[in-house]
């Protein structure tokens, strides 16, 4: 598997950043 223990933390950070970007885009986007 390409997912190792050190990579899990990095992937977690990427998921958090992606989620933050999604929330930011959804809250700042008036177009549905």
- pLDDT in the model for residue 15: 96
- pLDDT in the model for residue 2: 60
0.85 exceeded by pTM: no
Which tokens belong to 14?
A: 């990427």
CA 3-14-29 angle, to 5 degrees, is: 145
- pLDDT in the model for residue 3: 57
Per-residue DSSP letter, 9:
H
Q: Does 19 score more than 70 pLDDT?
A: yes
């Amino acid at each position: 598997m390409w997912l190792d223990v050190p990579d899990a933390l990095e992937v977690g950070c990427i998921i958090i950043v992606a989620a933050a970007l999604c929330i930011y885009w959804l809250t700042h986007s008036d177009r549905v």
